[in-house]
Structure 1
Amino acid sequence: MREQLPITIPDDARKRAMLSIQRYFEEQLDEKIGDLKALLVLDYVLAEVGPSIYNQAIADAKSFFDERAADLGALCHHDEFPFWKPSKRA
């Protein structure tokens, strides 16, 4: 089995997520939590739910590129030996 790569986010996003979690707890659950508790919640969510979100993002990207690749034949086709084809000149 392959080793799981940890889901990480940039430090700035981590700080904003921590603040968002603190605000959520305070406004929705009437509980004020500190930085450590918010970071523990964030780490849990990234570890537990992050892989599902990542896998869905990969599936969405694959689907997007598969659709574009299917169009390549029509988009990139050039008629062969065009010299002898009737011209559209009047």
Structure 2
Amino acid sequence: MLEKKQLWLTALAGVVAAFFIAKGEKVTQFFAGWVTVLGAFSVSEWGVIGGLMLGLASFILTWVYKHKNHEVLKAKVASGEPLEALLDEDDR
């Protein structure tokens, strides 16, 4: 089993090396640019950036699902379902 993994990893390394050789300078420039961006900030700054991104994602997801929930409730109210049943269902 270990020999198969080593063979697979060797083949993968060969493919990656061939890709870098074929693409050459552009791939190197791409990775160099990303390493520069990553190195421009400290760990605490990356934490702040990550927190802001997660907060924004949480806000958007909450808004989307609350909007969908309100649309479903509007449709049920329009169809004439009892209001108490809708409130009990929404609390669950």
Question: TM-score normalised by the shorter chain: which range applies?
Answer: 0.3 to 0.5
Q: Compare relative contact order (CA 8 Å, sep 6+) and give the higher one, 1 or 2.
A: 1
Q: Normalized per residue, which structure has more helix?
A: 2
Give me the TM-score of the superposition, normalised by structure 2: 0.38
Give me the TM-score of the superposition, normalised by structure 1: 0.39
